[in-house]
Amino acid sequence: MPVCRFKLVLALLAVGVTAACDPQVLADKAMRRTAETVVRPVLARELPGNVAEAATQCVLDAADPEETRALARDVGVEAGTQTIANIRNLATRPTATACFARNGVPPLKG
């Protein structure tokens, strides 16, 4: 009987590992990391290092998947005025402002 339980545990672990390798989840994480490389430099222009990192996470948490993809499109180039405006708009959403408050991030300048 212990062998059957062991096999059951192994099967459940295999299902868990397979779920963790969901291609969409991996793609979403990669897109978010790419968007981070666009958002962080914009926010670092007016916020110091650790604060800019926290603000970046708050802004990305406020973005929906399509907005995250739009931000990621500026990877490898300096963010343009539209991207900067999008980041500022995301930063004013209630989700982002609450996150800013929790993490000690001051409001962005107008």
- Tell me the per-residue pLDDT of 79-110, one tens digit each, with 9 for 90 and over: 889 999 999 999 999 999 999 999 999 988 86
**Domain map of the chain by residue range?**
23-102
Residue 11 has pLDDT above 60, yes or no: no
Helices (H), 21-110: 23-44, 49-62, 65-72, 81-91, 94-102
How many CB atoms within 10 Å of residue 83?
Answer: 18
- Whole-prediction pTM: 0.77
